[in-house]
Amino acid sequence: MYTFFLANIDVGSHLYVNLTENLHFHGETVIVSTLVLFAVILFLLIGTSNLQRVPGTLQNIIETIYETIKSVAITQMGPSYYSQFLPFIATIFLFVLGCNWAGALIPWKLIEIPEGELAAPTNDINTTACLAILTSLTYFGAGFKIKGIGYFARYIKPTPLLLPINIIEDFTKPLSLNFRLFGNVVADELTVTVIASVVPLFIPVPIMILGLFASTIQALIFATLASAYIGEVIE
């Protein structure tokens, strides 16, 4: 006879910062998220502070990012509406990209804290869940903004019999966004950690480079899906 006490399994250790008795947040996630935000803002300020007709390297990078996200937004939402939601899509992309790269480039595990460990903010499912919820709120807001009360008609098209399925579909979209990003980031960090623990220092470098590429793709996928969901309700 075997007894499993699932409630006693520790699935994650965090540096909890308590605001009230029932309200707390993960301190390590907030710390790294803040650093990422400052890094992204600084990158944009420096890259756009002295725009040239013949762009330099940094301006080229920023223009490439802008054109890429703009192309995604136009493709998914059309030329008539993309400009209304481009700031949101670009912000989501840059934040996710910054978080992913922070986890792939910086050896956070070398920095010890009282509890938990520093890592990519997207390594925390609460972060990816918040991003997914923000996308869903924007998704619903776009429908109301463009179509008004007629937005609800989509739930009974092409037949009222599909009402339950259409409602469930709207709730599964943020779940899909959440777990896709979280799972890929965690898998990448675990792969690098395991390889780095069993082989010499420079062997994991190709894996880390692959991780940077995968992190970029994940950010682009998140932004593309967010654009696609918004485009779906305003088409």
- Residue 13 within a domain: no
pLDDT of residue 197: 67
Domain containing 209: what range? 25-234
- Residue 12 within a domain: no
Q: What is the pLDDT of residues 170-185, one digit of tens each?
A: 778 888 888 888 888 8
Q: What is the pLDDT of residues 82-103, one digit of tens each?
A: 888 899 999 999 999 998 888 7
For the ranges 66-80, 141-155, 186-200, the lowest mean pLDDT is seen at 186-200
- Residue 133 within a domain: yes
- CA 166, 235, 215, 97 torsion-angle sign: negative
- CA 187, 189, 191, 197 torsion-angle sign: negative
Place of tokens 């054109």: 67
- Residue 207 within a domain: yes
- Residue 202 within a domain: yes
pLDDT of residue 183: 83
- Residue 226 within a domain: yes
Strand partners, 16: 26
| Number of independent structural domains in the chain | 1
Identify the band that residue 203 occupies on the pLDDT scale cut at 50, 70 and 90: low
- Residue 87 within a domain: yes
What amino acid is encoded at 176 in this protein? S
CA–CA distance, 12 with 110 (Å, rounded to integer): 18
Please name the helix (run of DSSP H) or strand (run of DSSP E) that holds residue 18, with its range, or none.
Answer: strand 16-18
Statement: the pTM of the whole predicted model exceeds 0.95: no
Radius of gyration of the chain (CA): 21
- Residue 4 within a domain: no
